[in-house]
Amino acid sequence: MLIQRITIEQVDLVTDLFNQYRIFYKQASDIPLAEAFLKERLSNNESVIFVAIINEQPAGFTQLYPTYSSMRVSKNWILNDLYVEAGQRKQGIGAALIEAAMAFARNDGASYLALSTAVDNYTAQKLYESIGFIKQEPDTAFFDYRIALK
């Protein structure tokens, strides 16, 4: 298995995987949209994408987004997307992608790498906890709010 960070010229390695990821989360299949979104993120330096290659074929990917902490005065990373092709699961690909993301964030000087997952995604929760991620309890000092803009 080879884990590598992709450039905008290599977006085709992950476009189909990203589309499959979106379908997994109940979004309509749209390859042109997936490709355009990924190219825009990379061309604007808004994300970092790693791909797992097995037998010269892409088998999974992860996409990280930067976030900043004023209190910590640091740049940190959110592991926003992680997907392994259905036929390639249970081979350690997800863990290898997460380890690559952690190494990247650490080398970038980040204080932390954060992620979220669905409350019923027990497989992902088990993987994250086995790597050492700690499930956060609801914050008692701050509330999170969100407003839809579209």
pLDDT-derived band at 80 (thresholds 50, 70, 90) equals very high
Residue 98 · residue 131 · CB < 8 Å: yes
How many Å separate Cα 83 from the centre of its chain?
8
Q: Write out pLDDT tens, residues 92-146.
A: 999 999 999 999 999 999 989 999 888 888 889 899 999 999 887 766 666 666 6
Q: Does residue 123 sit within a domain?
A: yes
pLDDT of residue 140: 62
Beta strands 74-84 and 57-69: pairing type? antiparallel
Q: Does residue 141 sit within a domain?
A: no
Mean pLDDT across 48-53: 98
10 Å Cβ neighbour count for 96?
A: 19
pLDDT at 11 over 80: yes
Beta strands 113-115 and 2-5: pairing type? unpaired
pLDDT of residue 142: 67
Question: Distance (Å, rounded) from C-alpha 78 to C-alpha 105?
Answer: 9
* pTM for the full predicted model: 0.91
The count of domains in the chain is 1
Domain of 17 in residue numbering reads as: 2-131
pLDDT of residue 71: 85
Q: Does residue 28 sit within a domain?
A: yes
Q: Does residue 14 sit within a domain?
A: yes
Q: Does residue 144 sit within a domain?
A: no
DSSP 8-state class, residue 11: G
Q: Does residue 94 sit within a domain?
A: yes
Q: Does residue 149 sit within a domain?
A: no
- H or E, element range at 122: helix 122-131
Residue 82 · residue 114 · CB < 8 Å: no
CATH number reported for the structural domain that contains residue 73 in this entry = 3.40.630.30
Q: Does residue 148 sit within a domain?
A: no
